Amino acid sequence: MAGSTSGARARLQQSAVELFRARGFDRTTAAEIAARAGVTERTFFRYFPDKREVLFDGQAVLVEALIAAIADAPRELGPLDVLFRAFRAVIPLLENNRPFAKPRQEVISVTPALQERELAKLEALSDALAAALEARTVSQLHASLAARAGMAAFAEATLSWLDASEPGLAERLDSVEAALKDLLRQDL
């Protein structure tokens, strides 16, 4: 059995996305995902508390990488510059994950319960970024505003890149950063 669980997490995630796309999220069970991945249902629940988490499992890695990049940024940078530097630092992680992320996003976009879950996860990510900025002595208000605006821009760049791989994610981040900063300079 040990050999059959080697790589089980990745197989479960891939199997889940395939089944969700073919049958729909609501009509797919954890047992079916486990069977397709070649593991037991018990193994499924060793890795994931529920079938939604199969799609959101990687967020902890992303948060950790972003927080580390924020902490490592030069002290003289402003909050938005720090965030976009951190976003660029995770480009390789996102590019490596694109084969899973693209179909994952397709499943989320047609499943209201998953859309709600994704919004909650994005809110938690914004909170983590704001806390990381505050640790750099950015005021709570500025940290919160920068994190939320930065996350909106990051999500725009990432989602558009998942829809079409060209231009690349780095170019899309450059574009949304410039647009956000331009917007903030305008006298609204």
CATH of the domain at 167: 1.10.357.10
- Same structural domain for residues 97 and 166? yes
- The pLDDT assigned to 120 comes to 92
- Same structural domain for residues 73 and 141? yes
| Domain edge (last residue) among 53, 74, 95 | 53
Q: What is the pLDDT of residues 83-139, one digit of tens each?
A: 999 999 999 999 999 999 999 999 999 999 999 999 999 999 999 999 999 999 999
- Same structural domain for residues 16 and 84? no
- Same structural domain for residues 135 and 152? yes
- Same structural domain for residues 119 and 179? yes
- Same structural domain for residues 26 and 102? no
- Same structural domain for residues 45 and 99? no
> Which tokens go with 121?
């996860």
- Same structural domain for residues 38 and 67? no
- Same structural domain for residues 66 and 26? no
- Same structural domain for residues 151 and 66? yes
CATH of the domain at 20: 1.10.10.60
- CB-based burial of residue 165 (10 Å sphere; 0-12 exposed, 13-18 middle, 19+ buried)? exposed
- Between 187 and 186, the more confident residue is 186
pTM for the full model? 0.88
> Which tokens go with 95?
């590019």
Q: What angle do CA 42, 53, 49 make, to 5 degrees?
A: 35
Q: Which domain holds residue 24?
A: 2-53
> Which tokens go with 188?
């609204």
Query: How many domains, the chain?
Result: 2
- Same structural domain for residues 82 and 14? no
Residue reference for tokens 């047609």:
110
Full DSSP string of 60-121? HHHHHHHHHHHHHS-TTS-HHHHHHHHHHHTHHHHHHHHHHHHHHHHHHHT-HHHHHHHHHH
| Domain edge (last residue) among 35, 53, 71 | 53
- Same structural domain for residues 19 and 98? no
Q: What is the pLDDT of residues 20-55, one digit of tens each?
A: 999 999 999 999 999 999 999 999 999 999 999 999
